[in-house]
Chain A
Amino acid sequence: MSGGEQQVLDRIERARRRKPVVREELITLAHGSGGKATQTLVEAVFLEAFRNPLLATLDDGATLPLGSARAAFTTDSYVVSPLFFPGGDIGDLAVNGTVNDLAMCGARPRYLSAGFILEEGFPVADLRRVVASMAAAATAAGVEIVTGDTKVVQRGRADGCYITTTGVGVIERPGTLSASAARPGDAVLVSGPIGAHGAAIMLARGDFGIEAPITSDTAPLHDVVAGLLDALPGQVRTLRDATRGGVATVLNEVAVASGVSVVLEEAAIPVRTEVTGVCELLGLDPLYVACEGRFVAVVDGAHAQSALDALRAHPLGAEAAIIGAVAAEPEALVLLRTAIGGTRVVEILVGDPLPRIC
């Protein structure tokens, strides 16, 4: 490599390390896509203003020291459209999503709050249906919804029904799970076939005239996580549910936070045939499509098989797979060994995953 080229690469590296800046004057949909723009917004606006050590980890939830005990604390808002889709509705998501964020901190989910923003004119029957789903999901997840809030806004100021849930869970096992804990030699697992939720939502919107028997994967993951943590005490480094931005984005966060490289085997990544079909038709990559009941686990490489067995012992992990490994170099990158025998870099999501024709 010539000196000139090295200079240019160094300049890019310096630019990369600079503090993130939000350049846009207005919020765009990309800021909510879970990818690079979201990350920049969170770091440059929220973290900048609220900075404290608990927030700074930017994990799925905060781990709170409460006397001798430890609690996990998290919040999430749900704005899905349509509200009802094959495999679930916004009520299931609002409970399962927050339960899962707590589970990813290694916590047993206990209590949830629920805040509703309702649009004037929203049918009470629909609200009842959503709330019944929430109640059922809460029972299934062993959590209680113990406090809440309701606001109604004028017609046109919201899209039917938005829900925010906040959750508290108890961390009963020692150690802390974190995106920054991955080490070279670790194994990377996924708890089941990816991308079904995102694909189901895209089809349910009816924008693309595509019909396929795809249902959302929304599910509470605390139980399958508990099984994994019990099977591998102290050997699980990182858990992340692969929601917005998909598996690719979550693993990029791990690679950056841990300063490692994550190497995936394309052929090992489970994707259902129909999800592949939708992705091929719309020019999307399943690695970036959201899941609501799948998580990625980074575990000590020596215990990869036990981790896989533990996941597969649970119905929600029956199709779990070892999809890759952690290496020291090249730092902060996710690589994919493609089925055809090549290697490529898996970028963090930039903007929304948009269907393309080119």
Chain B
Amino acid sequence: MCLGIPGELIGPAEEHEDLAVVEVSGVRRRINIGLLEGQDLKPGDWVLVHVGFALSKISEAEAQAVLEYLEGLGQPYEDEIDALRASDIS
């Protein structure tokens, strides 16, 4: 459940202190950032948007860590598969 989409903070919305504008794939929407109260937010930060609320600030460092985990994983196993194929042939 719980569709959440990453969006980039563009800036505050005028009407209310809890409102901000995010952009998703060239699409803009006003969202409520009240649930991120006390967190340091600035334009260019990414947040997870769920039913019009920012639920979480996305951590660039953690995102990078996952990709590195995946990259690190990829190479040895591709080597292993190549080895497996080679051994099949022989």
Contact = CB atoms under 8 A, between A and B. Distances in A.
A357 B52 CA distance: 10
A315 B29 CA distance: 32
Given A281-B49, A357-B50, A357-B51, A208 B2 contact: no
A280 B25 CA distance: 9
Contact of B26 (A209, A273, A283, A356): A273
Nearest to B2: A358
Interface residues of B, number: 15
A355 to B, nearest CB: 9
A127 to B, nearest CB: 33
A209 B29 contact: yes
Interface stretch (A188-196, A210-218, A320-328, A332-340): A210-218
Nearest to A199: B27
B3 interface: yes
Q: Which of A213, A276, A280 has the most CB of B within 10 A?
A: A280
B1 interface: yes
Contacts of A185: none
Q: Which of B1, B2, B3, B30 has the most CB of A within 10 A?
A: B3
A212 B3 contact: no
Interface string B11-55: 000000000000011111110000000000000000001111000
Contact of B24 (A209, A277, A358): A277
Interface of A: 208-213, 273-274, 276-278, 280-281, 283, 356-358
Interface of B: 1-3, 5, 24-30, 49-52
Given A210-B27, A356-B3, A357-B51, 16 more contacts: A208-B29, A210-B28, A211-B28, A212-B28, A213-B26, A273-B26, A274-B25, A277-B25, A277-B26, A280-B5, A280-B25, A281-B29, A357-B1, A357-B2, A357-B50, A358-B1
